Chains A and B, each alone.
Chain A
Amino acid sequence: MVSAWLDRNMKWIFTLPAVLFIVVMVAFPIVYTVRISLFEWSMSTNTPPKWVGLSNYTHLLTDERFWGSVGRTFYHASVSIFFETVLGVLIAVLISRKFRGQKIAKTFLMLPMVATPVSIALVWLLIYEPSIGLANQILKSLNFKPLAWLGSVDLVLPSLILLDIWQWTPMIVLIVVAGLTTLPTEPYEAASVDGASPMQKFFHITLPLLIPTILTAVILRLVDLLKTFDTIYATTQGGPNYASETLNLMVFTEAFHYFKFGSASALMMLFFLIIMIVIVTLIALKKRLGGLH
């Protein structure tokens, strides 16, 4: 009797924990955030949340600070991902060759990635320090003019991008190295027989075969990049002025400095939408390219 019931409902019972988890940890927070985004609320107990409909959204969409943040988010993410991917693939190919000290080299490469982001940010804050920092000491010893790095409106994002490249290129390396080990050897043997040069082998065999792996790495990295918060907050808090304020930093400021929880939630929803669009596009791209090989 019982076992028959169990048999019939097996699929529900086994999926229930996962469904519950998703409802509690993902669906509920999203629905709740959508709800808050339709109110104006400063966490006050005397003044209850005030229904404002979509005005939080319309206000944001006409706010130049919002569009500035969108632009900076994409600028930071796209430049970083470009260099991280190119460097990551190159380093991965180099490091996969057999050489003395290969293991040690691999270990050192992973170090930036496993360190705590905030401590990395503090280290770079010192490196970029205009008067005593390492970066300017090097420039001075090479007879260049010292730069303001994080203190300059024009340089702050490139400086942060450099930090991100240093920190996260190893992640691309790691994934691509794993991908390289799974490549079949036959195409290479065939190419050798046909007299292909190493460069030709790289561009015509290695790279095409690696495309799905690289795209996976890019997607994983891009999601994190768009959400970058820790290093930026710990180094500049979005400054100077608003020159390094990305969407995530703006959300934080709206919520925890201004106590505008409705507006912050609306911003979060728009941000969520933007990331979804980017990722869905990339996954579609991966399906198309992945299918070619």
Chain B
Amino acid sequence: MRMLKKSMIACVSSALLLTTACGSGGAGPAENSGAPQAAAKPFEGKKITVFVQNHPWTDTIKAALPEFEESTGMKVDIQGFSDTQLQQKLAVQLTSKSESPDVFMFRPYMDKIQYSKNGWVTPLDEYVKKDPGYDFGDFVKSAVDENIVDNKLLGIPIFADQFVMYYRKDILEKHGIAIPKTLDELKEAAKKVHDPANEMYGFVSRGERNSLVVGVSSYLFAEGGDFIKGNLMTGATAAVNTPEAISGFQIYADLLKNYAPQGVLNMAWPQAAGIFAQGKAAFYTETAAVYQNVTDPKKSLISDKVGFAMFPAGKNGVKPFNVAAWSLGINSNTQNKDASWAFIEWATNKENVLEIQRNGVPGTRNSVWDMKEGTETYPQDLAEAIKETMKVGIGHNVPQVISVGEARDAVGTIVVKAVLGEDIKAAADKANADLQAIIDKDKAK
């Protein structure tokens, strides 16, 4: 009986989902054919609410907003939150089927499976084709792929994260060390410059259990490992205790244990970036997106001494991650789908992506990266490293499950235990069992 009821609910809800998807797809183009050019102020009197993260991206969009409101006639209410607040706020709004916010920022690499399963976002496949001038084909393919679940496009990537290596030019020069190209060279170099008595540490990176999972992923891939083998929907197995994965975890843990400052196990990226910016570490592996924390003279003592390079190669080659960090999506319950799309279309057009990118947020449009204006505000070596990483990068940096938070805690423990000197194989076996349990539960959802 209960089974029957459950399957009925599933039928009804998937039917609902389908109708919203078809409805928006069908009605959209007809209603809006050539609207922006033809009718002046096509959305006169409409008001949409947008939930975003407080971020340089948001600042640039806010500054450009009055012009957009003037030309479309709609009012856009942008509400900024810190990322944890945003996540919690969204969870509440979306589970209660609220019509607001109309548009929101979300993290496809964390949320896409859950959002798709719960039917929280409007598929955008039809919308992106409406205006050829939008040139959706211009978006970086791996970033777009990150937003696709079951062949449906859930969001438009607005900025990307590439994992790169930060290093101190002056220190390398002083010791006559070349920029490390492999993880072994990185280890050697860190060892050579490590001088804790004079507060110079060889290496720093994230050590906090949950946060470090993003940091260690590129090491894992470089050694030929991954968090999970297979796809969650079709049958996945946890793979964090394979020899390749353990090798990746081990390299990262060794670097933290031997060459990082005390207290590294409490460090998420802001703390690690802080250590590097204070000039206390020679190497730092991190996403490119936070580079201004170490190159801005207001935040950094070593702003003019920072170099950037591709993440070093492991046994499996150069495999840093390149993910669509945040995307814009449309609430499936909103009444203003067309106005919402008009906002996203505007916010992610070439001009705005260029403007945002010039302000330090790496965008996801190839054409912008190819322009001189798109990269001239970046340190040249960083721009090169980002471009190269976008070509070869791996499209995820956390276990691809629904319960990402729980999975990250399970996996992060491996590195923490290894840094604390416990047996890494035992830790990995335990984490693998935990991760498998999470996968099995998620599959049943």
Contacts and interface: CB of A to CB of B under 8 A. Distances in A.
Interface of A: 42-48, 51, 129-132, 146-153, 236-237, 239-242, 253, 256-260
Contacts of A43: 91, 95
A241 B117 contact: no
Interface in B1-26: 2, 6, 9-10, 13
B19 to A, nearest CB: 14
Given A241-B413, A241-B417, A258-B406, A45 B95 contact: yes
Contacts of B405: 253, 257-259
Contact of A236 (B266, B278, B406, B445): B266
The A interface is mostly helix, strand or loop, or mixed, namely loop
A40 to B, nearest CB: 9
B108 interface: no
B392 to A, nearest CB: 32
B264 A258 contact: no
B132 interface: no
Nearest to A50: B6
A147 B94 CA distance: 45
B293 interface: no
Q: How large is the interface on B (under 10, 10 to 19, 20 to 34, 35 or more residues)?
A: 35 or more
A149 B263 contact: yes
Contact of A259 (B9, B97, B403): B403
B209 A259 contact: no
B209 A241 contact: yes
Contact of B403 (A148, A242, A258): A258
B91 A259 contact: yes
A71 B13 CA distance: 44
Given A46-B118, A132-B278, A152-B263, 10 more contacts: A46-B13, A47-B118, A130-B261, A131-B275, A151-B266, A240-B208, A241-B417, A256-B88, A257-B405, A258-B403
B262 interface: yes
Nearest to B403: A258
A237 B271 CA distance: 14
B153 interface: no
Nearest to B87: A256
Contacts of B406: 257-258, 260
A239 B266 contact: yes
A131 B266 contact: no
B280 interface: yes
Contacts of B97: 45
A45 B420 contact: no
B416 interface: yes
B306 interface: no
B208 A239 contact: yes
Contacts of B13: 45-46
6 contacts: A44-B118, A45-B119, A46-B117, A132-B278, A147-B262, A253-B409
A201 to B, nearest CB: 48
Contact of A129 (B2, B263, B265): B263
Please report whether the interface of chain B is mostly helix, strand, loop or mixed according to DSSP: helix
Contact of B199 (A47, A131, A239, A258): A131
Contacts of A51: 2
Contacts of A130: 261-263
A253 B406 CA distance: 9
Interface of B: 2, 6, 9-10, 13, 88, 91, 94-95, 97, 114, 117-119, 199, 207-210, 261-266, 275, 278, 280, 403, 405-406, 409, 413, 416-417, 420, 445
A51 B5 CA distance: 13
Nearest to B280: A131
B52 to A, nearest CB: 20
Given A130-B261, A256-B88, A258-B406, A240 B266 contact: yes
Contact of B261 (A131, A149, A150, A258): A131
Contacts of B208: 237, 239-240
A42 B445 contact: yes
A193 B262 CA distance: 61
Nearest to A40: B441
B209 A239 contact: yes
Given A45-B95, A45-B119, A131-B199, A151 B403 contact: no
Nearest to B441: A40
B417 A148 contact: no
B276 to A, nearest CB: 12
B92 to A, nearest CB: 8
Contact of A153 (B88, B91, B420): B420
A71 B97 CA distance: 40
Contacts of B2: 51
Contact of A241 (B6, B263, B416): B416
Contact of A151 (B9, B10, B263, B409): B263
A236 B264 CA distance: 12
A44 B403 CA distance: 12
Going nearest first, the 6 A-B pairs with the smallest beta carbon separation are A151-B263, A240-B265, A130-B263, A130-B262, A257-B405, A148-B262
A239 B212 CA distance: 12
A257 B114 CA distance: 13
A132 B274 CA distance: 11
Nearest to A146: B262
A291 B154 CA distance: 69
Nearest to B6: A48
Contacts of B275: 131
Contacts of B91: 43, 259
Contacts of A256: 88
**Residue of B6, B10, B416, B417 with most chain A CB atoms under a 10 A cut-off:** B416
